[in-house]
Amino acid sequence: MVICKASDYKDLSRKAANIIAAQMILKPDCTLGLATGSSPVGTYEQLIERFKDGDLDFSRITSVNLDEYKGLAPDNDQSYRYFMNTNLFNHVNIDKAHTFVPDGLEPDAEKACREYDEIIENVGGIDLQLLGLGHNGHIGFNEPADSFSKGTNCVDLTESTIEANKRFFESEADVPRQAYTMGIRTIMLAKKILVVVSGKDKAEILKKVVCGPVTPEVPASVLQLHPDVTIVADSEACSLL
Ligand code: F6R
């Protein structure tokens, strides 16, 4: 596990974008696993800038996103598909037919999860997976549990996640209670993993993830067992390390 300390959010975003850019340059037809949330927004801005400068080409890139709220349509402005379109895909030359997000409108959870696993398998797995870190240690929407999840699964969001995400909705009641998420096993099968962590409020959980025991009660702690993980964190997030 490599920990790359950034001075602030801008520096973190630049460093994370450097790693993704290197991956794209070395393998122009790679599959990127992508995340939503506030942590990667600056990284996406950096990637867009580099595309506009002519330094990056997304035309042969495939992407698979970590998760999607169950019940939200792609054009709902709180859906993760909408987030990806507005924060990255609409601004670069990626072929949207090669961008995948779990189908939030599929009511049959088993079908939605099976189909998403098939998509990930058909694209040949993930070359580089970008992750944010939840306050309770979740990655994707894999919440603290008794065991690590395997493939894509339908989860009930915890109170702390609903609380953290309500800032994006009109009221807490509007936050969907369930989501489809890529499983921990699938994340662990990615060849490389890049985690972006920002802010003082993430310092305690980052310490547990890096220095604590590997336990499904802190889902991201499993990353200690992956052979190629880089955590890019700003100085506030690193303050307890
Ligand atoms: C988003 C995701 C989540 C977030 C996590 C951190 O696709 O899977 O695990 O990465 O909740 O969110 P932020 O970055 O908003 O603190």
Structure tokens that stand for 112 in this block: 């939605």
Q: Is the CB of 136 under 6 A from ligand 1?
A: no
- Is 4's pLDDT higher than 90? yes
Q: Is the CB of 67 under 6 A from ligand 1?
A: yes
Which amino acid is residue 212, in one-letter code? G
Q: Check residue 170 and give its pLDDT.
A: 87
Q: Counting atoms of ligand 1 from 1, which one is nearest the CA of 40?
A: 14
Q: Counting atoms of ligand 1 from 1, which one is nearest the CA of 35?
A: 7
Q: How far is the CA of 27 from the centre of ligand 1 (A)?
A: 26
Mean local confidence (pLDDT), 24-28: 98
pTM: 0.96
Query: Helices 9-26 and 41-52: crossing angle, nearest 10°?
Result: 50
Structure tokens that stand for 105 in this block: 């409108």
Distance CA 68, CA 124 (A): 21
What is the residue-averaged pLDDT of the chain?
96
Tens digits of residue pLDDT in 92-144: 999 999 999 999 999 999 999 999 999 999 999 999 999 999 999 999 999 99
Give the least confident one: 48-52, 159-163, 211-215, 235-239: 159-163
Distance in angstroms between the alpha carbons of the first and the last residue of the chain: 14
What domains lie within the chain, and their CATH numbers?
A: 2-180+190-234 (3.40.50.1360)
Half-sphere exposure of 11 (CA within 13 A, CB side): 11
Q: Catalytic residues, which ones?
A: 67, 136, 138, 143
Tens digits of residue pLDDT in 167-207: 888 888 889 999 999 999 999 999 999 999 999 999 999 99
User: In 10 A of CB 93, how many CB atoms?
Assistant: 12
Q: Check residue 87 and give its pLDDT.
A: 98
Q: How far is the CA of 55 from the centre of ligand 1 (A)?
A: 27
Question: Measuring from atom 12 of ligand 1, which residue has the nearest CA?
Answer: 37
User: Would you place residue 147 in the very low, low, confident or very high pLDDT band (cuts 50, 70, 90)?
Assistant: very high
Q: Check residue 18 and give its pLDDT.
A: 98
